[in-house]
Amino acid sequence: MTQTSEDVTWLTQEAYNQLKAELEHLSGPARVEIAKKIEAAREEGDLRENGGYHAAKEEQGKQELRVRQLTQLLEKAKVGEAPADNGTVAPGMVVTVAFDGDESDTETFLLASREYASGDISTYSPQSPLGSGVNGKKVGQDAEYELPNGRTAMVRILEAKPYQG
């Protein structure tokens, strides 16, 4: 199976190492810890009314989901440098757009996997409607994307710079 550029998640070496360490922790020590919690709660008796058991099982489910998400992400990940600072929108760039070409109605966001999301800046995935609409466009170009209600919206790319973290 060949991968398309949409299937690939570009990560810096630092981000890759951080996600790999999280995966190793969750699939190793954290998995053992949650199994011990479940066993301790199971020994308390009737499982139907055992809140600790149900909470531990729910925590285990969330943890296993995260393990699957990280495994899939890291399988598709390509470690590389930041995108070129050439005015073309690409994953790993901070993009400023004007909605409907109105430069008083703008938004600046990071075009990246949600694994990069931080409280500092909004993050849009390259697979999101807005992200896929602007990806590959150059500064000054217009981009259309589909809204959840099925209508299309237009933005003008005002700026695209590599994310500095």
Distances (CA, A) of 133 to 33, 91, 112: 44, 12, 14
How many C-beta atoms surround the C-beta of residue 137 within 10 A? Answer: 20
pLDDT in tens, 44-56: 877 778 888 889 9
Domains, the chain: 9-79 (1.10.287.180), 93-162 (3.10.50.30)
Distances (CA, A) of 102 to 14, 96, 99, 155: 37, 12, 6, 8
pTM: 0.56
pLDDT in tens, 6-45: 556 667 677 788 889 999 999 999 999 999 999 988 888 7
